[in-house]
């Protein structure tokens, strides 16, 4: 019992019928004195006349809110002070408490003593709502900052300590608790979020404190009952009747207190919880679920039943992840206690499917907790989960999100790898190797991996199990014995697939132990290891090195004929601590390893195996280790043998010519593949492999009979040889002769690759194309950067014919339909894996060529043929084309804009060639070109200042293209390309207001008086384009300065009225003039020269070319004048600006005519920044806006809620806090909203 309560002699404990909350006591009670009569002077100091506490002269906090907010005082002393004031005047003390809750909600209003005495709670709350300051929208529970960081904790602690200190008398006085619960119930029903949020938190913490009190009362009742029974069972002579009466009296008092507490908890639960657990605000719902979980764990006898569990089960379907997360954590606290499982059995059966499905939740945090909860259910009862439930969790070990995978790994470990037989475990613990306890578990792991047919990521499986099954995964001795030793009698033999899987898993465990970080694709990167983790890593690396130095040669010897197993085993040496060879005097094991690797090289021609051997030699040859000389000798002997064999086989093949048999071809191909694999990682230039490779390629081109595999390998080997020669030159001080010699080699090889582009074999052409792109990138102008000007003789720039061939190759081999691809593979039906591989290869080809464009090695206009396929092949290459467009724009905005318009012109010309000059403007082909133009326009972004000249140049080229040819029928007929203006309309929204006028003026130079007056449908493209330039010309008020066209600025302008508008226009005109003056000294690039390539040439309509009559005299200000007249070397926009004044009146008249014609073009908005369009149609009513702001709770509960409305009605009746029809009458008598 608290000391502050023991000092109160006047508090009675008579239990009368509870009065109405907030009402004066019953008449039979002693009437209260007025506050001024009862309160001594010492207590009145520091209070206003209305009863509110204030700060003293020194500025120390006096109000409860200030004290709790600062959190400097011990909470128990704060509560004790309040209890003392309550004993002296409970009205004033309760007034402090009421204002505490009001101020904690962020309300600036104050409840006065008159309001407290004369007004109902609803009236007080309504008054506080009117005084609520909602300017910021923040309140103490949501404000960020160091001062408010601990406010939530202090607030909750204050309530808990308050109940704990008052639990023996004050809470039973039928006044304090009634007032507080009534106030919190009313606040929780408020439409103000801050009131609802704060009061719900207070009520739930109050309920938690009361549950703790009820639990203590229950324990005291049990103890009293036992004492009573023990005393009553004594013999009559020894029985103390006075003690029995005291125990009976105490039991009665405890029972009355228990009833009082239950009434309080029922009031909170029915009046607040049942409404707020489905509140529109996710945070409020989360508070309710979190606290009910605490009640069920704290007082399971009273709360852990279906009546309360159903609320948690229903909320598992909540829309917000944070609420679902609270549900799962609440359930975890229950399932952790094995004694509670019988009470959870019905809940588990009812909601198990939902919990298992939540392991796939879109919120990763929720998925992780769901998996952990399923693991707890498994630990409590293995029969609770079906095989299907377990399988749903098993496959998550392959998840790319590591926390999900690790949680699933823990589940898998508990299900499959936990040993449940202590006697068998103890008997097996003394055994080692395959007979150890881990032997069967490793077999089980292999079977699990093989049964996961949809996944082949052993590294992901190992990483998932690493934290829970590390002892098992590091038992390399057991794994090695399973692979090397013969099975004992009665033991099942590992199949070939099982052996391959075990080797793969073993290599993955070695990598995980040696690198101590997750595999690629999991995690954000390598984190810094702690000292303990670093020590574990070093110990593991030493352990695996010492074991596999001896075991690896034996494993290679056993599986030397199996390519897959050998390729995996040869990855192990890269994780060795190679110092162990010399420190442990294990050179004999090194010799055994080198012998086995040499045997593997001689035995295999598989590329993966040979590359593994090459990489192993490269690792063992590191100069930092003392074993380098021994390994280098072995490597040189091996290469000598291979080179001699290759030279002899090449001579025999070339001498045999067309009479060469399969053996001759195999000898050359096998040795060439081995040398190529080694040349990738080792400098083999002293063996001069380039000469024979070049001979093979030249012979193949001349005779056309070289097998494609030999040609592919010869190209690759020659490429490696050139790169190693370049490495030698860049690292040393090369002479001029060395540079010229390498230049001749590179030039001859580039010519050879260019000739191979016309080879009949697709693999040869693809290999030649990739090597051409790589070499052109390496030997480009960037080779001389970084103080390497001496390498200038090695720079190669592709001529137009080579660029032409490269682009033709892309068009013929990348932008093809799937049917064409299937035909190119001789009609063989491809499976899904082959299709993906073929697409990956085509993407690599396109990326290689795009890099040449990005780095200005191939002329940018060549990209027009790539850009025009953006929409058609968006799913396959959209990301590559988009990135190419972005990078080229960074290089040269204007040239990139010219390339974009060129790609649209090419598509338009192709359409005219197919359909003729009379295009159907509603056809899908025309719509496709317009959609592509719209996508291009979106890539310009919002900053119109940066793209101003580029967009203007684009319009200029488009206008010139539209009027390029005259109609041979006469000037009264539209030009053949006039329909292109409709495509050009898509870019009008990217023009600034003053630029629209200038572009319109430039357009009028190409128009005759007759064109301006025509209104027939055939002239609609011109009318639409003119309207797109004129619409918004006067109304558009976008600021010239980048980033200043905010909504706030717009609202300010609207408030300032006409004078501000006029001022703004003057400012824009002045900025426009300065921009024009600046451009007088700049040269805008002329018309983009279409490259003379068969694929990128602007395909003209033959009929147009034949009927076109060249103009004798070009119009003043035309492109020819711009290029040849020095006096006109200024921005064409500036020229049109100078002529604008002379044509202003005529323009206005034409504009009115266009508008009177009834044809109006809707200008696309400027608020499109990303390259992708926004397809979502956002339409919100006022009710929808309220739902969106309130984070509307979507009711997806399986079990029907209380019978006020069924689930379908609740789904259809969306809450509206301002709609009286949404109010329902609860059984508890409180009127409150549905949600």
For residues 1177-1206, give the mean pLDDT. Answer: 33
> pLDDT per residue over 823-835, tens digit each?
444 444 457 888 8
pLDDT score of 569: 96
Burial annotation 328-344 (CB, 10 A radius, 16+ → b, else e): bebbbebbeeeebbebb
Q: What is the rounded distance in angstroms from the CA atom of residue 407 to the CA atom of residue 396?
A: 9
**Residue 1217 confidence class, pLDDT cut points 50, 70, 90:** very low
pLDDT score of 1218: 30
> pLDDT per residue over 761-780, tens digit each?
899 999 999 999 999 999 99
Q: Which two tokens stand for residue 639?
A: 């290469």
**884 near 848, Cβ under 8 Å?**
no
pLDDT score of 926: 86
pLDDT at residue 1093 tops 70? no
pLDDT at residue 865 tops 70? yes
pLDDT score of 639: 95
pLDDT at residue 109 tops 60? yes
pLDDT score of 819: 55
Q: What is the rounded distance in angstroms from the CA atom of residue 1130 to the CA atom of residue 1082?
A: 6
Comparing 636-645, 677-686, 991-1000, 1002-1011, the range with the smallest average pLDDT is 1002-1011
Neighbours of 441 (CB within 10 A): 21
For residues 961-975, give the mean pLDDT. Answer: 82
**728 near 769, Cβ under 8 Å?**
no
Q: What is the rounded distance in angstroms from the CA atom of residue 322 to the CA atom of residue 854?
A: 45
Q: What is the rounded distance in angstroms from the CA atom of residue 281 to the CA atom of residue 191?
A: 11
**Residue 1094 confidence class, pLDDT cut points 50, 70, 90:** very low
Comparing 78-87, 891-900, 969-978, 1064-1073, the range with the smallest average pLDDT is 1064-1073
CA angle 434, 437, 441 (to 5 degrees): 80
> pLDDT per residue over 1112-1167, tens digit each?
333 333 333 333 333 333 344 444 444 444 444 443 334 333 333 433 333 333 22
> pLDDT per residue over 741-757, tens digit each?
999 999 999 999 999 99
**Residue 670 confidence class, pLDDT cut points 50, 70, 90:** very high
**140 near 106, Cβ under 8 Å?**
yes
pLDDT score of 869: 93
**897 near 987, Cβ under 8 Å?**
no
pLDDT at residue 1077 tops 60? no
Q: What is the rounded distance in angstroms from the CA atom of residue 54 to the CA atom of residue 548?
A: 78
pLDDT score of 545: 94
Q: Tell me the C-alpha to C-alpha distance, in Å, between residue 44 and each of 53, 56, 84, 85.
A: 9, 12, 13, 10
Q: What is the rounded distance in angstroms from the CA atom of residue 368 to the CA atom of residue 325?
A: 9
Task: Judge residue 870's burial from the number of C-beta atoms within 10 Å of its C-beta, 0-12 exposed, 13-18 middle, 19 or more buried.
Answer: buried
pLDDT score of 254: 92
Computed from CA positions of residues 1147, 1152, 1154, 1160, in that sequence, does the dihedral angle turn out positive or negative? positive
Comparing 341-355, 478-492, 732-746, 1195-1209, the range with the smallest average pLDDT is 1195-1209
> pLDDT per residue over 775-809, tens digit each?
999 999 988 888 888 889 999 999 999 999 999 99
DSSP state of 1225: E
pTM for the whole structure: 0.73
pLDDT score of 417: 80
For residues 16-21, give the mean pLDDT. Answer: 37
pLDDT at residue 419 tops 60? no
pLDDT score of 145: 77
For 189-242, give the secondary structure using H, E and C: CCCCHHHHHHHHHHHHHHHHHHHHHHHHHHHHHHHHHHHHHHHHCCCCCCCCHH
pLDDT at residue 961 tops 70? yes
**141 near 57, Cβ under 8 Å?**
no
pLDDT at residue 224 tops 50? yes
**Residue 376 confidence class, pLDDT cut points 50, 70, 90:** very high
pLDDT score of 1034: 44
> pLDDT per residue over 566-593, tens digit each?
999 999 999 999 988 888 788 899 999 9
pLDDT score of 704: 77
pLDDT score of 269: 95
Phi-psi region of 515 (alpha: psi -120 to 50; beta: other; left: phi over 0): alpha
Sequential DSSP letters for 91-154 = HHHHHHHHHHHHHHTT------HHHHHHS-HHHHHHHHHHT---SS---TTT--SHHHHTHHHH
Mention every residue, 6+ apart, whose C-beta is less than 8 A from residue 794. Answer: 726, 729, 739, 742, 743, 746, 779, 783
**Averaged confidence pLDDT in the chain:** 78
**Residue 439 confidence class, pLDDT cut points 50, 70, 90:** confident
DSSP state of 1232: E
| Residue 835: HSE in the Cβ half-sphere, 13 Å Cα cutoff | 10
Q: Which two tokens stand for residue 349?
A: 């059966």
pLDDT score of 492: 78
pLDDT score of 1088: 39
> pLDDT per residue over 168-192, tens digit each?
889 898 889 999 999 999 999 998 8
pLDDT score of 60: 53
pLDDT score of 659: 78
User: Quick one: what percent of the chain has pLDDT higher than 90?
Assistant: 49
Comparing 14-18, 110-114, 139-143, 1178-1182, the range with the smallest average pLDDT is 1178-1182
pLDDT at residue 849 tops 80? yes
pLDDT at residue 297 tops 90? yes
pLDDT score of 466: 94
Query: Using N-to-C axis directions, what is the helix angle for 402-412 and 364-380, rounded to 10°?
Result: 10
**Residue 61 confidence class, pLDDT cut points 50, 70, 90:** low
> pLDDT per residue over 192-207, tens digit each?
899 999 999 999 999 9
pLDDT at residue 143 tops 70? yes
> pLDDT per residue over 441-477, tens digit each?
999 999 999 988 766 789 999 999 999 999 999 999 9
pLDDT at residue 403 tops 50? yes
pLDDT higher at 1114 or 838: 838
């Amino acid at each position: 019992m608290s000391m502050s309560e023991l000092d109160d002699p006047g508090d009675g404990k008579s239990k009368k019928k509870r009065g109405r909350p907030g009402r004066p006591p019953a008449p039979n009670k002693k009437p209260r004195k007025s506050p001024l009569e009862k309160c001594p002077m010492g207590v009145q100091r520091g209070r206003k006349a209305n009863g509110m506490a204030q700060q003293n002269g020194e500025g120390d906090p006096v109000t409860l809110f200030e004290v709790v907010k600062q959190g400097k005082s011990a909470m128990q002393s704060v509560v004790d002070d309040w209890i003392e004031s309550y004993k002296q005047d409970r009205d004033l003390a309760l007034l402090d408490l009421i204002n505490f809750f009001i101020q904690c909600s962020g309300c600036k209003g104050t409840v006065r003593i008159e309001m407290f005495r004369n007004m109902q709670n609803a009236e007080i709350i309504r008054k506080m709502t009117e005084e609520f300051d909602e300017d910021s929208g923040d309140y103490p529970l949501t404000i960020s900052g160091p001062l408010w960081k601990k406010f939530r904790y202090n607030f909750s602690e204050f309530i808990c300590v308050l109940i704990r200190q008052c639990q023996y008398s004050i809470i039973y006085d039928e006044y304090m608790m009634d007032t507080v619960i009534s106030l919190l119930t009313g606040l929780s029903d408020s439409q103000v979020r801050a009131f609802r949020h704060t009061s719900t938190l207070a009520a739930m913490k109050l309920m938690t404190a009361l549950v703790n009190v009820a639990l203590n009362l229950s324990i005291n009742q049990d103890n009293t009952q036992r004492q009573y029974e023990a005393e009553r069972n004594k013999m009559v002579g020894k029985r103390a009747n006075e003690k029995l009466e005291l125990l009976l009296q105490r039991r009665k008092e405890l029972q009355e207190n228990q009833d009082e507490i239950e009434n309080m908890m029922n009031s909170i639960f029915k009046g607040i919880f049942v409404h707020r657990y489905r509140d529109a605000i996710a945070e409020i719902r989360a508070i309710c679920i979190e606290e009910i979980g605490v009640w069920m764990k704290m007082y399971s006898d009273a709360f852990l039943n279906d009546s309360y569990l159903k609320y948690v089960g229903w909320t598992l379907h909540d829309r917000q992840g944070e609420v679902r997360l609270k549900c799962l954590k609440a359930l975890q606290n229950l399932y952790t206690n094995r004694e509670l499982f019988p009470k959870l059995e019905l809940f588990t059966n009812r909601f198990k499917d939902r919990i298992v499905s939540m392991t796939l939740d879109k919120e990763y945090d929720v998925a992780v907790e769901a998996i952990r909860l399923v693991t707890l259910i498994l630990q409590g009862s293995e029969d609770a989960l079906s095989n299907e439930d377990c399988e749903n969790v098993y496959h998550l070990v392959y998840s790319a999100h590591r926390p999900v995978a690790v949680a699933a790994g823990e589940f898998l470990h508990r299900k499959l790898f936990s040993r449940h037989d202590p006697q068998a475990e103890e008997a097996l613990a003394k055994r080692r190797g395959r007979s150890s306890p881990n032997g069967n578990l490793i077999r089980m792991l292999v079977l699990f991996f093989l049964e996961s047919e949809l996944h082949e990521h052993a590294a992901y499986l190992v990483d998932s199990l690493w934290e829970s099954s590390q002892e098992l995964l590091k038992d390399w001795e057991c794994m090695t014995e399973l692979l090397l030793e013969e099975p004992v009698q009665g033991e099942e033999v590992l199949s070939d697939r099982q052996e391959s899987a075990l080797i793969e898993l073993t290599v993955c465990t070695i990598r995980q132990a040696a690198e101590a970080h997750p595999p690629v694709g999991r995690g954000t990167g390598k984190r810094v290891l702690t000292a303990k983790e670093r020590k574990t890593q070093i110990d593991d690396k030493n352990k695996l090195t010492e074991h596999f130095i001896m075991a690896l040669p034996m494993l290679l010897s056993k599986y030397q004929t199996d390519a897959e197993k050998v390729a995996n085993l040869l990855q192990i040496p890269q994780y060795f601590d190679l110092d162990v060879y010399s420190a442990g005097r294990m050179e004999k094991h090194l010799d055994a390893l080198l012998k086995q690797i040499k045997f593997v090289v001689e035995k295999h021609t598989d590329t993966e195996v040979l590359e593994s051997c090459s990489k192993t030699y490269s690792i063992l040859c590191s100069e930092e280790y003392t074993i380098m000389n021994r390994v280098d000798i072995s490597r040189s002997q091996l290469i000598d043998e291979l080179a001699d064999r290759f030279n002899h086989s090449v001579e025999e093949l070339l001498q045999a010519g067309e009479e060469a048999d399969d053996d001759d071809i195999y000898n050359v191909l096998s040795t060439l593949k081995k040398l190529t694999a080694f040349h990738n990682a080792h400098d083999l230039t002293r063996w001069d492999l380039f000469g024979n490779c070049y001979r093979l390629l030249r012979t193949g081109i001349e005779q056309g009979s070289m097998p494609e595999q030999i040609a592919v390998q010869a190209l690759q080997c020659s490429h490696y040889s050139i790169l190693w020669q370049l490495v030698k030159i860049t690292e040393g001080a090369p002479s001029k002769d060395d540079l010229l010699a390498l230049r001749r080699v590179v030039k001859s090889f580039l010519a050879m690759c260019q000739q191979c582009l016309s080879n009949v074999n697709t693999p040869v052409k693809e290999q030649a194309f990739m090597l051409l792109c790589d070499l052109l990138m390496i030997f480009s102008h960037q080779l001389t950067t970084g103080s390497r000007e001496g390498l200038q003789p090695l720079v190669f720039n592709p001529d137009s014919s080579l660029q032409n061939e490269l682009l033709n190759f892309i068009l013929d081999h990348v932008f093809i339909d799937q049917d064409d691809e299937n035909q190119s593979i001789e009609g063989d039906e491809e499976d899904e894996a082959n299709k993906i591989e073929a697409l990956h290869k085509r993407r690599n080809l396109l990326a290689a060529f795009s890099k040449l464009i990005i780095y200005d090695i191939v002329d940018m206009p060549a990209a027009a043929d790539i850009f025009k396929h953006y929409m058609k092949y968006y799913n396959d290459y959209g990301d590559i084309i988009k990135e190419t467009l972005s990078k080229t724009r960074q290089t040269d905005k204007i040239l990139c804009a010219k390339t974009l318009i060129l790609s649209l012109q090419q598509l338009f010309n192709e359409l005219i060639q197919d359909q003729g000059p009379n295009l159907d403007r509603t056809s899908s082909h025309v719509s496709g070109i317009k959609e592509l133009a719209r996508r291009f326009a979106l890539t310009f972004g919002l900053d119109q200042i940066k793209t101003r000249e580029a967009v203007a140049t684009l319009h200029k080229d488009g206008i010139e293209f539209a009027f390029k040819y005259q109609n041979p029928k006469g000037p009264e007929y539209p030009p053949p390309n006039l329909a292109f203006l409709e495509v050009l309309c898509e870019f009008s929204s990217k023009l600034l207001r003053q630029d629209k006028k200038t572009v319109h003026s430039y357009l009028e130079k190409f128009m005759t008086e007759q064109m301006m007056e025509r209104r027939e449908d055939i002239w609609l493209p011109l009318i639409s384009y003119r309207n797109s330039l004129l619409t918004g010309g006067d109304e558009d008020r976008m600021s010239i300065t980048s980033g200043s066209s905010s909504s706030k600025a717009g609202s300010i302008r609207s408030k300032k009225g006409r004078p501000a508008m006029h001022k703004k226009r003057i400012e824009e005109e002045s900025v426009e003039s300065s921009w024009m003056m600046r451009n007088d000294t700049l040269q805008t690039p002329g018309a983009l020269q279409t490259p003379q390539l068969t694929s990128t040439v602007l395909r003209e309509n033959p009929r147009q070319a034949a009927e076109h009559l060249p103009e004798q005299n070009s119009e003043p200000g035309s492109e020819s004048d711009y290029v040849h007249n020095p006096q006109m070397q200024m921005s064409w926009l500036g020229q049109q600006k100078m002529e604008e004044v002379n044509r202003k009146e005529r323009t206005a008249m034409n504009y009115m005519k266009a508008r009177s014609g009834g044809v109006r073009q809707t200008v696309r908005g400027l608020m499109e920044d990303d390259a992708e369009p926004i397809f979502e149609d956002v339409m919100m009513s006022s009710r929808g806006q309220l739902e969106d702001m309130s984070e509307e709770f979507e009711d997806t509960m399986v079990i029907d809620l209380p019978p006020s409305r069924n689930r379908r009605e609740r789904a259809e009746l969306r809450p509206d806090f301002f709609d009286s029809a949404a109010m329902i009458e609860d059984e508890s008598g409180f009127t409150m909203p549905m949600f």
